[in-house]
Structure 1
Amino acid sequence: ERLGAHSPAHLPPVLGAGEVRLRTPEETMRRMLALCAVAVRAESLSSEPLSLQDIATKLGAGVAALTPAERDFIERDAPDEETWANHGWRYESAALLQWALGLSEALPPPTAICDAGQIARIAIDHADEARIAQASLRPLPELLDALDGVYRRHWLVRQARLDEREPPIGLHPSVVYERHYALNWLLRFDEQDWDEVGTPT
């Protein structure tokens, strides 16, 4: 509301601390690395496509953690444009998980896309087993506050689409969606695996 957008009072609260069963820091780190692996592959398709082996040299732990759908995307020579674009947006999910892991200081407003190069560099720097074993997550209240904020922003984005108008307060729909998706996975919304995570508002 301080930013100038009002979400309705009838929106239900997000999970409380006593209801959450967080993913482990190690699982979160491996998921972040996998997201970077598919995003790097998607980005490379516009110039010099990187193979699974190319990506594994820098992000081996991420390649090992790919879901079946992600592996299918990376191994496909010419994915359709929608699949290509969807995986390119995974930089945003990875950025959210890097913040949750304390690998970045602040979570900027979801009004602009992240610095993909920086996200990839952070991932590569943390792709070895020693760094994965040392992973830790931010305090649960911070994660729940982030979920509450992105959940309400996602409602605003979807309502704007229904009303056929621009999202308020400069919200970037794809950035909001990827953050909501990643947080719902991290906080085990409906206990869904990565490829099946829902983002209802």
Structure 2
Amino acid sequence: MSSQMLRKSRSEKELMRINVPINEHLPYVEAERDVLIRSRVEIINRIIPLAITAAKALEAPDEYLAEAVEEFQANNLFTDEERQFMESATTNEQDKINYSWKLESIWVLLWSVGLVPELNSPAKTCDVDLLFDVVLNSSKDDLINKASVKQKSIILDELDFIYRAHWSVRNAQLHGTDIPAALDEGVVYERHYAFNWLVHYMDQEWEEISTDT
């Protein structure tokens, strides 16, 4: 049995164990030989602007944000959309919600380079205090030096699982049924988003990422 088949089988068994419906006809995720994981520098350079925009979304003081931008030399790390959000004197509630949810993407990226110990249950949001402590109380050099990208097989295992979990969320939304209790729809979406970026899914950059199921 190929590693792709084994990965699919393991994910399906775990989803069934936690009472999440599966779709046996979903395809495999890409094989390890066909996947290029982003480098630790790329990952840290994505974590930093995400953390700063999330801090703004959570209404951190302007002085604190300005210091963080300067300390991390983050101006050249923001996407155009993130820069627009950071430069806005007033922000709407939906933008705040969207950027605060990116904490769940950050958690995946931190996990992928060993800066947080584990991915918690997809039913639970991440440890926000720990996240900000890890990122914003370090320098960029510290983060890069501490970062070590996990093995490709481990990242693909988690991608496969969240991809199949995301199908279950979308299936419930489509049919107007309850989302499985073992899944939080926001957590699942953001994890899938971050993993697809990590593996260069369809060669898309951050603001373009699709989360096909």
TM-score, length of structure 2 as denominator length: 0.86
**C-alpha distance 194-154 of structure 1, shift in aligned 2 (>3 A):** same
Query: What is the match of residue 42 of structure 1?
Result: 57
Equivalent in the alignment of 1:73: 85
Q: Determine the structure 1 residue equivalent to 2:129.
A: 117
| 1:127 to 1:30, Cα distance in 2 relative to 1, 3 A | farther
* Displacement after TM superposition at 1:57 (Å): 4.9
**1:54 aligned to 2:72?**
no
Matched, 1:28 2:43: yes
Report the counterpart of residue 138 of structure 1 in structure 2.
150
In structure 2, the partner of 1:157 is 169
Task: Give 1:2's aligned residue.
Answer: 17
Q: Distance in 2 between matches of 1:98 and 1:51?
A: 22
8 A Cα contact 1:23 1:186, kept in partner: yes
Separation in 1, partners of 2:68, 2:39: 24
Displacement of 1:129:
1.9
Equivalences, count? 198
Deviation sequence 1:131-172 (CA, Å, 0-9, x none): 314522111111000000100111011111111122113311
Q: Distance in 1 between matches of 2:164 and 2:73?
A: 34
* CA distance in structure 2 between the partners assigned to 1:73 and 1:142 by the alignment: 34
The corresponding residue for 2:105 is: 93
Q: CA RMSD in A?
A: 1.8
Match of 1:170, SS state, is coil
Q: Distance in 2 between matches of 1:191 and 1:84?
A: 27
SS, match of residue 108 in structure 1: coil
Partner-residue secondary structure (3-state), 2:181: helix
Can you give the 5+ residue segments of structure 1 that lack an aligned partner in the other structure? none
Distance in 1 between residues matched to 2:136 and 2:65, nearest whole Å: 15
Offset at residue 50 of structure 1 (A): 5.3
Question: Percent identical across equivalent pairs?
Answer: 32
Matches of 2:198 and 2:66, distance apart in 1: 28
Counterpart CA distance in 1 for 2:200 and 2:35 is: 7
Residues 169, 180 of structure 2: 8 Å contact kept = yes
Q: Which ranges of 4 or more aligned residues in structure 1 deviate by more than 4 Å?
A: 48-52
The letter of the residue matching 1:56 is: V
**Is the Cα–Cα contact under 8 Å of residues 122 and 188 in structure 2 kept in the other structure?**
yes
Range with greater deviation from structure 2 (15-24 or 130-139): 130-139
Cα distance between partner residues in 1 of 2:202 and 2:96: 27
Counterpart of 2:210, as a letter, is G
Q: 2: distance between equivalents of 1:183 and 1:65?
A: 19
User: For residues 50 and 44 of structure 1, what CA distance do their matches in structure 2 show?
Assistant: 11
Which residue of structure 1 aligns with residue 204 of structure 2? 192
Does structure 1 conserve the Cα–Cα contact (< 8 Å) formed by 2:57 and 2:96?
A: yes
Equivalent position of 2:13 in the other structure: none
